[in-house]
Structure 1
Amino acid sequence: MPAARLPRPHRFDAYVALAGLLGGLLLWGFGLATRPKDEPIVLFPGAWPILVPLAVTACCELMRRAAPRVALPVATAALVADTVTQGNLLTLVMFTDVMYAAVLYGTPAAARRIPWVTGLLSVAATVVSFAVWRVPEALLIGVAVGIMSFAPASTGLIVRNHRDAAEAARLRAEQTALLAEMDRVQAVGAERARMARELHDMVANHLSAIAIHSTAALSLDDPATTRRALGVIRENSVMGLAEMRRLIGILRDAGAETEPAAAPTLDGLGALVGTARANGLDVTLEAAYDRVPAPVELAAYRIVQESLTNALKHAGPGRVTVRLAQLDGSLTIAVTSPYGDRDAPRAPGSGAGLIGMRERATLLHGTLEAGPEDTPDGKIWAVRATLPTAEGDLP
């Protein structure tokens, strides 16, 4: 099994280690030490023993970021060795930096533990020194221990907490931006879907009538029939153009100077049915409702409009019935038409009509079903929708 290899030192740490080593060698070259030769604690007097702790501490500086769990114990041992020599100021300075880095770059557990340990050591050094020597100067030993260990450890903890807080704030900002972008994409998608439904429902009815009547005008050699067909074509063209202008006005949002036309309401069902009759459908309308919210009115109007368009394109000969009733906090819509046996529709379609109707009902927490049904009078195509009218039930 290959031996574990220490990670490569950071470039900045290499500069720090080199600066500390050169600074220590410069002090050593000038004969500057932290303690005199005759001090009782100095067990190894002379200039050369000073270099060993200095070199070891400089090596620990190399690993201050890459391996703080290794650097701190080794640097502590070097500091202890430095105390029994005449000492070098740069050894002490580099040790404080290793202590600071051990808290800043070490594990979260080490970052919490080291300040407590160094604080207790500072208090213990103060108490023990005063108890042994009984002079005020003995308190300076605890102060020195605190400056060498507790102060850099506390500074490292403060910087680490600020760094973690900044990183957390950055992550929250990124998450907020991501959520905002997701909301924007969803809003754009929802708006595009809404405009697609509006465009389809507004234009499909008129274009289907134009396609059917233009086919009749081209296929029948009857001036009167052709004239009636062209009249229907012109009427649907004008109405379709007005609807398109209304939609363009909404998209442009011209503001106070040019307000877009109001959205259609259930009061316009009579005109809608009249247009369907003009287009050739035998339509009857039965409506019994009170006040309903504006979103429900628009959805109900569009469902009836699309159902009549489908009947114009697909239904067989016979009566088309439109019924609206409001009961128990909901508006029910039923549009029935003879089930046609045509090989092909009278006008081409995209199949998006039923999808749009279901989307409108779902957005209002309602339901919509469409399909053939058997009745005593024959097979019919029925579109049945239920839309809640209570304000609390609407999204």
Structure 2
Amino acid sequence: MPSRPRLPPRPHRDDVLIGLGGLLGGVVLWSLGLVNNDWFPRLPDALPLVPLTVMAGAELLRRTAPAVALPLATVALAVDQTSGSLISTVLMFTDVLYAAVVYGTPRAARSIPQATVYLTVAATVVPLVIFRTAVSLLIGVAFGLAVLTPAWTGWIIRGHRDTAATERLRAEQTALLAELDRREAVTAERARMARELHDLVANHLSAIAIHSTAALSLGDPAATDQALGVIRENSVRGLAEMRRLIGLLRDAGDEDEPAAAPTLDALDTLLEQARTGGQKFRLCDERPGDAAPLPAPVELAAYRIVQESLTNALKHAAPGRVDVTLSHVTGGPLEVSVTSPYGESPVPRAPGSGTGLIGMRERVSLLGGTLDAGPVTGPWGTVWRVRAALPLGYEGAPQPRPLTDQEPP
């Protein structure tokens, strides 16, 4: 089926008003006999109304079809100048020329002002050569006012309009990027808060669940009393950590000073708190005694990795020894290794959520390190090993440093 011909767009309302205003003004001037020249007196007196009407029609196309309006207006102006010119026709031509630069194609916007410069020079030089009088220069001045001025005015206006459009687009892009950055920051902040909440509180709650299960399953009153003591200690510590975390989130000025971030020097206390059931814990610190202090984010990440690994050992590991090893070679990363017996625990354990390994991987990734977690077979059988390498200089870290316990998220 053949496609229907595309109709030209409707003229803009302002263009219709300009065309009607110019047409009515020209008719009034013609009726009053205000014609600019009378080079051909034998021509009909109503002939100037013809280019006037054509020019008014070109005004209707000044915005929707400037490539058609300008040639039409040029022909109408030529006829107007030879048939008794009306000032209304000339003024409408200047407006059509201005609109051709403002609303035309980029190529037309560049070529039309340049062409008007050449035409104005020719309109000034040619009469001066022919008539050789100073008065002939007025022809070039009049031609420049009618052609050069509207063309270059349109060029300036178009430049400002294009600049404004570019700035609006840039502002929209900036706002979009800001929104994307905001969403990314919110997502990262939520991940940090979840990681901190898990590391600060989940360890104590897991210990409470483990010892309460042991207290219920054991018939020894002394073991039950010991388990209840551990439950109370972990509940008090967990409550204190929760209060401190809430204070950091609120950033209240009247809160007490937040506790210092845990360091690797506190691992002995952490292992002492974790000793329960059939597990035995051993710490082997192979770092040189004269080593420089570790960066706070690295030390915090190492502490949290050990803490989470011990919690997982209490939850899932079979009875046996849990080894915690710290090693650091000058110029290399800090290596943290936690090995625990691999197998089913003979006593009921608290269920895990699976977020502990995710949190450890996030911490290591923020520092640009590596983390391996899984069963490993060696001379002493199969063990579950968590091994992390934490660069001290954050080489290759894809994101900013992780949140510390001293900073509100």
Which of residues 26, 29, 33 in structure 2 aligns to 1:27?
29
**Alignment RMSD:** 1.9
State whether residues 36 and 87 of structure 2, in contact with CA within 8 Å, keep that contact through their aligned partners in structure 1. yes
1:202 aligns with 2:200: yes
State whether residues 22 and 92 of structure 2, in contact with CA within 8 Å, keep that contact through their aligned partners in structure 1. yes
1:348 aligns with 2:351: yes
1:77 aligns with 2:79: no
Match of 2:364 in 1: 361
- Point out which structure has higher relative CO (alpha carbons under 8 A, 6+ apart): 2
Give, as a single letter, the amino acid of the residue that structure 2 aligns with 1:352.
Answer: T
Deviation (angstroms), 1:6: 2.2
Matches within 5 A, 1:264-343: 264-277=262-275, 281-289=279-287, 290=291, 291-327=293-329, 328-342=331-345
Matched position secondary structure for 2:123:
helix
Give the whole-Å Cα distance in 2 for the aligned partners of 1:344 and 1:82. 107
Match of 1:112 in 2: 110
Pick which of 16-25 and 328-337 moved more.
16-25
Give, as a single letter, the amino acid of the residue that structure 1 aligns with 2:379.
Answer: P
State whether residues 368 and 395 of structure 2, in contact with CA within 8 Å, keep that contact through their aligned partners in structure 1. no
Match of 1:243 in 2: 241
Distance 1:297 1:118, change over 3 A: same
Give the whole-Å Cα distance in 2 for the aligned partners of 1:341 and 1:380. 12
Give the whole-Å Cα distance in 1 for the aligned partners of 2:254 and 2:126. 84
Give the whole-Å Cα distance in 2 for the aligned partners of 1:44 and 1:110. 39
Matched position secondary structure for 1:84:
helix
Deviation (angstroms), 1:184: 1.4
Deviation (angstroms), 1:257: 6.1
Matched position secondary structure for 2:373:
strand
Give, as a single letter, the amino acid of the residue that structure 1 aligns with 2:27.
Answer: L
Match of 2:162 in 1: 164
Match of 2:143 in 1: 145
State whether residues 42 and 83 of structure 1, in contact with CA within 8 Å, keep that contact through their aligned partners in structure 2. no
State whether residues 44 and 86 of structure 1, in contact with CA within 8 Å, keep that contact through their aligned partners in structure 2. no
Give the whole-Å Cα distance in 1 for the aligned partners of 2:380 and 2:132. 116
Matched position secondary structure for 2:302:
helix
Matched position secondary structure for 1:335:
strand
Pick which of 108-117 and 271-280 moved more.
271-280
Question: Structure 1: any 5+ residue segments left out of the alignment?
Answer: none
Deviation (angstroms), 1:141: 0.9
Give, as a single letter, the amino acid of the residue that structure 1 aligns with 2:381.
Answer: G
Deviation (angstroms), 1:216: 1.9
Matched position secondary structure for 1:373:
strand
Pick which of 56-65 and 204-213 moved more.
204-213
Give the whole-Å Cα distance in 1 for the aligned partners of 2:180 and 2:250. 24
Deviation (angstroms), 1:222: 3.4
1:88 aligns with 2:83: no
Deviation (angstroms), 1:288: 3.5
Distance 1:145 1:321, change over 3 A: same
Matched position secondary structure for 1:147:
helix
Give the whole-Å Cα distance in 2 for the aligned partners of 1:43 and 1:59. 26
**TM-score, normalised with respect to structure 1:** 0.94
Deviation (angstroms), 1:391: 5.9
Match of 2:403 in 1: none
Residue by residue, what CA displacement relative to the aligned partner does 1:365-393 show, whole Å, maximum 9, x if unpaired?
00000000112222100000001013666
Q: How many residues were matched structurally?
A: 391
Match of 1:254 in 2: 252
State whether residues 58 and 94 of structure 1, in contact with CA within 8 Å, keep that contact through their aligned partners in structure 2. yes
Give, as a single letter, the amino acid of the residue that structure 2 aligns with 1:57.
Answer: M
Give, as a single letter, the amino acid of the residue that structure 2 aligns with 1:296.
Answer: V
State whether residues 253 and 259 of structure 1, in contact with CA within 8 Å, keep that contact through their aligned partners in structure 2. no
**TM-score, normalised with respect to structure 2:** 0.91
